[in-house]
Structure 1
């Protein structure tokens, strides 16, 4: 990957001292205007960008005043300003953990809503730049939305989860493949012979479902052929299709993304959990404590801040040519929904 241009590169190309470049880029009156214009043009041609962290530090040294808390932006685009908050849905909330970790680095993390009345991508970017905000954390997008149009070259940016697919940024997400891998291992260890898989609710990121299914189908090869069940039809399925599939294949354990819906469907079939069938939740839902893999949203939010601060220190902006993905492995939690199976 090509290294970004440095202040020294601009100075060599312009045939001037580093100090002249620095003052020119800050429009200092000590430098003649023709020189400032020429240096800026060379900096643009070389792709040089001022590192906001270094700039703030130098300003602090010149003025003798400590650097105030720099701000980072937590960007959301739900239909309503706070539609991303847990009281409006049951997805994890990464914001509090990100706020705390940002504070550790001396930053203030502020929420910005792309859906403000009259807001446009250009106006949004100009507003952030005017406030000296150079780092963005992109929150999970609402169901059905997978792209954002911003002037990415102006910012260092990290995405949370896998809902943003265009552009593909560096991002932090749960280790979804390992989620199902762990679940299938537990089923087999505890004597379950016919674990099944279903999407009982909408999966807001199809690539998450692909990873779940990849682990499930691979793990099925560890079971005898007669006990390998087809995935329940539908993404998401409905109660009628689930009933038909369940009665035909009689799974003894179920891996599911929304256990609350599943519990109602099993009750209608006069099936008891865990007496008749075990249940593993692939996503922990607030309204139901269940057996499954738990991911601490505070850790995910904190990891996003750590990655973003690293990008800003290295002055890496724009859409990366090679995106990095950090996967957080989850923790198995019990709640008596997958007890050891008796013969």
Structure 2
């Protein structure tokens, strides 16, 4: 096995003292900018990576001060600085769980906004390196964005969720396949026979929907052929398409990703939830109590920290050749939207379906 590149190797290649290399990599202003840039380029070319634990120990020895908490960067790229926080949307907040778990290991988690005015990927990475930050947790990206450009080789990285598709990093996410698998089994156990599936809202990651659909279509094959329903058209669907599909197929239970919209649409065609139609939410929404599979965001944040610290301790940085995925299985949450089925007479549907 080839030995890892050392600080001395970089110093010899650059023709400078190892202290100059150390100061350059920390962006110390005592070293001319041109030298810093040249040393960094050589270090990258040789594949040199700073060990965060050794760096922290050396900092303590240099300063003679008690050690401070090492920092993990929680990186977001929403259009606004705090657009990722729950008060601005109904997605889960992984930050508190990550921060609490990091503290158990002597780290702290600090938010960094990649879309800061005037920020570039190179400058962003230099800022983190200057502060001795070697570990990144990549938060969920906003809807419509699936890639980031950073100098990944300089950091150990773990992504949250499945919104980041380029590059593919190690990541922690919900077990979306199991969400629908659980939901279908509960529906069947409680006597529902015609179980429908509709994307009633836009997803921030289409790959999540693919996993939902995989479980749904596989479970449909376990039903009698007469009870197998097509998926509601369009992703996401709209009220007109949903109405036509529902009246054509009359499901007695629905799996949806936004229950609020589905409840409103059903009400307009004379269907009550759960009196006439049962419902399971695939994403837990704060604005409406609903039956479904609940994922504790604190656990997902904590798992991301545990995975990242493992990478940092092993000095593993950059885009992995083999990407690892940790799936958290959720817990069933009951909220009266999926009662044991009692057959009821449906209300007459208005003649005009438009």
- TM-score > 0.5, shorter chain as reference: yes
Residue 4 of structure 2 corresponds to which residue in structure 1? 5
Residue 205 of structure 2 corresponds to which residue in structure 1? 205
Structure 2: gaps spanning 5 or more residues: 25-38, 344-354
Aligned partners of 2:182, 2:20: CA distance in 1, in Å? 57
Please list, as runs of the form range in 1=range in 2, the aligned pairs for 1:190-339 lying within 5 A after superposition. 190-339=190-339
Contact 1:10/1:42 (<8 A) preserved: no
Deviation at 1:50, TM superposition (A): 2.3
Aligned partners of 2:120, 2:40: CA distance in 1, in Å? 28
Tell me the alpha carbon deviations over residues 56-89 of structure 1, each in whole angstroms, 9 at most, x when there is no partner. 1244356553321111111111111111111111
Q: Secondary structure at the match of 1:186?
A: helix
Residue 88 of structure 2 corresponds to which residue in structure 1? 88
Contact 1:290/1:337 (<8 A) preserved: yes
Aligned length: 328
Structure 1: gaps spanning 5 or more residues: 15-20, 29-38
Contact 1:160/1:171 (<8 A) preserved: yes
Residue 26 of structure 1 corresponds to which residue in structure 2? 22
CA RMSD of aligned residues (A): 2.6
Deviation at 1:52, TM superposition (A): 1.6
Residue 66 of structure 2 corresponds to which residue in structure 1? 66
Aligned partners of 1:4, 1:169: CA distance in 2, in Å? 25
Residue 144 of structure 1 corresponds to which residue in structure 2? 144
Query: Kindly tell me: are residues 265 and 44 of structure 1, through their superposed partners in 2, closer, same or farther at Cα, counting changes over 3 Å?
Result: closer
Aligned partners of 1:186, 1:3: CA distance in 2, in Å? 54
Residue 124 of structure 2 corresponds to which residue in structure 1? 124
Contact 1:24/1:40 (<8 A) preserved: no
Deviation at 1:134, TM superposition (A): 1.0
Tell me the alpha carbon deviations over residues 15-72 of structure 1, each in whole angstroms, 9 at most, x when there is no partner. xxxxxx97675369xxxxxxxxxx9999666523220212212443565533211111
Contact 2:7/2:18 (<8 A) preserved: no
Contact 2:7/2:22 (<8 A) preserved: no
Contact 2:7/2:21 (<8 A) preserved: no
Aligned partners of 2:60, 2:76: CA distance in 1, in Å? 32
Residue 341 of structure 1 corresponds to which residue in structure 2? 341
Aligned partners of 2:332, 2:223: CA distance in 1, in Å? 22
Tell me the alpha carbon deviations over residues 198-220 of structure 1, each in whole angstroms, 9 at most, x when there is no partner. 00000110110000000000000
Q: Secondary structure at the match of 1:132?
A: coil
